Structure 1
């Protein structure tokens, strides 16, 4: 067994001596913090050239500096993913700098929680705009780069971030749950329409990951939407349950952002070369 393990490890090391994503170009939205930041850092470590995008360009630039200080290559592109000119802006910056695009990771998003019977239209509409319309428009704008006649031998894919809320619903998140469910249907459609061009499309559904969206709302984290602050987090905080096992999660704990990023790396890497139209649940077993 030990000898076989050495053979397998050697095979991947020899096949990808400079990383699983060596020379590939990846756009990651919402990459200034949380899961997006962990994705950007991990992809760069695996040899990718990373386009770090975020609403807060200053924070995105700090991630770029981290990547460059570690010997990687990245650029920052600030902007609201929901803005009409965002797709053209980020794609132009990507092609001007790197000349190609291999992967898009649609990760940007936030929560705007209200009970269904008290949820205003604006809370529903903005979540749908950022989590569904924005990824749709970015992927659509990138079509000429992916729908290459005759296909391409390069590794190319789309990963759209969903949530366990999109699979099972969640109290206080009718808007978020609806949006994340829609992401799955959209991704499967991309997989069917673009598979003939050698492009894979997958969804990743996260459970309880330790980010600002699951931290204590009392900390005061907020995002400005349409000029108004929207509080982030959960009243009292999801925390780690005081070190005790977290109910409903077989593994008994939340995921770190690095663990979440590992799942995305798998989906965009050559290791998932025959995986398309799939929803990978990174939930510690929640919902089974």
Structure 2
């Protein structure tokens, strides 16, 4: 059996050997709730030292406590990913405590939905800033810890979160769709530029995952952006999370249910793990089969 096959076989027998991300260090943005929280918890369970960030410091503290209570290792760095000083702040904190960076999961984001003809410049600009500029700046800041000599290389990857809106467009989301489409180009460029350093870069494009962004807008979830209150959610969205197949639920999704944050986290773990050691420049659609 080749060394690569032995390695993969060992990871497939994960319950009897090393955890998938044992000894590795991962930065996860937007980790205070939803998909980011699930990613952070799962990465920690699989042996990663997780550096978590969120604009909501209280929620972040709760997630850090969850990770540590489960026996994991975590560091919280609260802040706005769009702030000019954020990339240096989180990269310096990560390297100061753990000495390296193996993975960056650019998950932080939100929606600011309006019909195209009523979308003001600031609503377009802030979505581009958070979903495109912020990941780019964080990745650029971390470059010295990815562009390494052969003898320094370990499993390393960049995972950028996109959406089916970025693949197909969506009514009321000109800003979000444009930003999430841009993420694909950014990811593929990283794959080409940093591939020679052994770094993999992939995108995960989520369909319906039940979070505050896809919950009913009538539920009243909001976020404060530059002093303005932005309503989150989808008008009239289904409120329940269907976890079993039901022909009457979500007829546009072959699996007949929306995804959970844990479903989403599993796909991110796959892309970060050695099981995806030859996957780079790819966009993994996690949609329950919708859109095929």
Displacement of 1:240 in angstroms is: 4.4
Asked whether the equivalents of residues 11 and 19 of structure 2 are also in contact (C-alpha less than 8 Å), the reply is no
Distance 1:130 1:16, change over 3 A: farther
Match of 2:185 in 1: 185
Match of 2:3 in 1: none
For 1:10 and 1:271, the matched residues in 2 are separated by: 10
Return the match for 1:255 from 255, 259, 273: 259
Match of 2:112 in 1: 112
Asked whether the equivalents of residues 54 and 78 of structure 2 are also in contact (C-alpha less than 8 Å), the reply is yes
Please tell me the root mean square deviation across aligned C-alpha atoms, in Å: 1.7
For 2:80 and 2:252, the matched residues in 1 are separated by: 35
Match of 1:33 in 2: 33
1:172-251 → structure 2 map (5 Å cutoff): 172-240=172-240, 244-251=248-255
Distance 1:275 1:241, change over 3 A: closer
Distance 1:127 1:17, change over 3 A: same
Displacement of 1:193 in angstroms is: 0.1
Asked whether the equivalents of residues 61 and 75 of structure 1 are also in contact (C-alpha less than 8 Å), the reply is no
Gaps of 5+ in 2: 1-7
Match of 1:268 in 2: 272
TM-score (norm 1): 0.94
For 1:241 and 1:59, the matched residues in 2 are separated by: 22
Displacement of 1:286 in angstroms is: 1.2
Gaps of 5+ in 1: 1-7
For 1:98 and 1:16, the matched residues in 2 are separated by: 26
Asked whether the equivalents of residues 165 and 176 of structure 1 are also in contact (C-alpha less than 8 Å), the reply is yes
Number of equivalent positions: 281
For 1:126 and 1:17, the matched residues in 2 are separated by: 44
TM-score (norm 2): 0.92
For 1:33 and 1:41, the matched residues in 2 are separated by: 11
Match of 1:65 in 2: 65
